[in-house]
Amino acid sequence: MNFQLKFKVNDKLYLKDPEKSEIGKSILKHAIELIFDIGFEHFTFKKLAVKINSTEATIYRYFSSKYKLLTYILNWYWSYLELMCELKTSEIKIPLEKLKKILEIITHYNNSCDEVDDYNIGKLHSIVISESSKSYLVKEVDEISKEMIFGPLESLCQCISDIISEAKPDFAYPVSMASTLLETAHNQHFFSEHLPKLTDNHHKEENKKYVLGYLTHITFNLIK
């Protein structure tokens, strides 16, 4: 069953809340489609305006830059993924089984969390894989971080790290492992699809299956 979601996204990222109007929602939905199709480097508000049959000025009333629009979309995704982690592990009693489910969620294995009506989660996941590092690998990251722009990503990592600690209370690096699992899931998927010689996916396994297998191997050799 599909459902609709609304998350509170840091208001430093927008000038006008896009979730409160149909044109705002259209901006987000078509931005995801366009970034997926042409990549963030080639994405412009002018091209987006054509997609939504509106003007650049309309988009600028919501977002001051394409960087903030991308970061808004990513923050929505991090909040969504955290919710999926909470929902899909809530009935699981065994910590290691919870951790196994977490790995399925962050790799989108079997489309295990693509169940909302709001946006195309499959395309959003592809954007996260290829573009998410561009939101924090910037010169101004320290100043940006002071405004809690990366709060949803940090909250997701904390959620995952809590489950790691539940599975192995004496493990010294639960938060670092949580962020490593997320980044590794993205990097290995990208490499497996585009630069396979940087992976061990020699038999051309389906990318999500390969990444899940790799993450499962490294995780359960540390947490057991």
* Cα atoms in the Cβ-side hemisphere of radius 13 Å centred on 96: 8
Percent of the chain whose predicted confidence (pLDDT) is above 70: 91
- Global confidence as pTM: 0.89
Does residue 32 register a pLDDT over 80?
yes
Q: In the predicted model, what is the mean pLDDT of residues 182-204?
A: 91
Does residue 1 register a pLDDT over 50?
no
Please write the tens of the pLDDT for every residue from 81-132: 999 999 999 999 999 999 999 999 999 987 655 556 567 888 999 999 998 8
**pLDDT value at residue 205:** 75
Taking the C-alpha atoms of residue 118 and residue 120, their distance in angstroms, rounded to an integer, is: 7
Taking the C-alpha atoms of residue 94 and residue 179, their distance in angstroms, rounded to an integer, is: 22
**pLDDT value at residue 63:** 96
Least confident of 4-13, 55-64, 182-191: 4-13
Q: Which residue has the higher pLDDT, 32 or 6?
A: 32
Taking the C-alpha atoms of residue 108 and residue 54, their distance in angstroms, rounded to an integer, is: 34
Does residue 207 register a pLDDT over 70?
yes
**pLDDT value at residue 96:** 95
Taking the C-alpha atoms of residue 204 and residue 187, their distance in angstroms, rounded to an integer, is: 16
**pLDDT value at residue 112:** 53
Q: In the predicted model, what is the mean pLDDT of residues 145-163?
A: 87
Question: Mean of the per-residue pLDDT values for the chain?
Answer: 89
**pLDDT value at residue 7:** 65
Least confident of 19-33, 55-69, 104-118: 104-118
Closest CA to 44 of 61, 31, 28: 31
Q: In the predicted model, what is the mean pLDDT of residues 38-50?
A: 96
